[in-house]
Amino acid sequence: MISVMCVVQEGQISTEVQFALRAAISAFTQRAFAAAADIDWIVVPQGSGFTAAAPSTAMVASMHANRSLKRGERTALLRELGEICMERTGLSPNEVVTSIRDPQ
């Protein structure tokens, strides 16, 4: 199981988009790590998230890999995860933060 945390702003992502994003992230973890995703979906209440002193529109997709990754592979996987998030949500590259950490 790949532990995934998605942090989004309240009202930012519709239920339909959330389900599509969850499915795409699950497919990603199956392809990249041959493991299912255990997604913790966290909604930040409106007015509680700020970037550059303005209400945030950013989302975070963060996960632990099930094996150590070399820099080149990590970079490619981060790029793919970011593209998945941007394609499903319509957010810009400046609004999507991705992280893939080595196993705990």
The pLDDT-based confidence of 7 (bands split at 50, 70, 90) is: very high
Closest CA to 62 of 8, 11, 15: 8
**Can you tell me the distance from the alpha carbon of 92 to that of 68, in angstroms, rounded to the nearest whole number?**
29
**Can you tell me the distance from the alpha carbon of 21 to that of 85, in angstroms, rounded to the nearest whole number?**
7
Q: What is the mean pLDDT of residues 91-102?
A: 96
The pLDDT-based confidence of 17 (bands split at 50, 70, 90) is: very high
Q: What is the mean pLDDT of residues 54-62?
A: 91
Q: What is the mean pLDDT of residues 41-66?
A: 90
- Average pLDDT taken over every residue of the chain: 95
Q: What is the pTM of this model?
A: 0.92
**Can you tell me the distance from the alpha carbon of 70 to that of 58, in angstroms, rounded to the nearest whole number?**
27
CB of 7 closer than 8 Å to CB of 59: yes
**Can you tell me the distance from the alpha carbon of 82 to that of 23, in angstroms, rounded to the nearest whole number?**
15
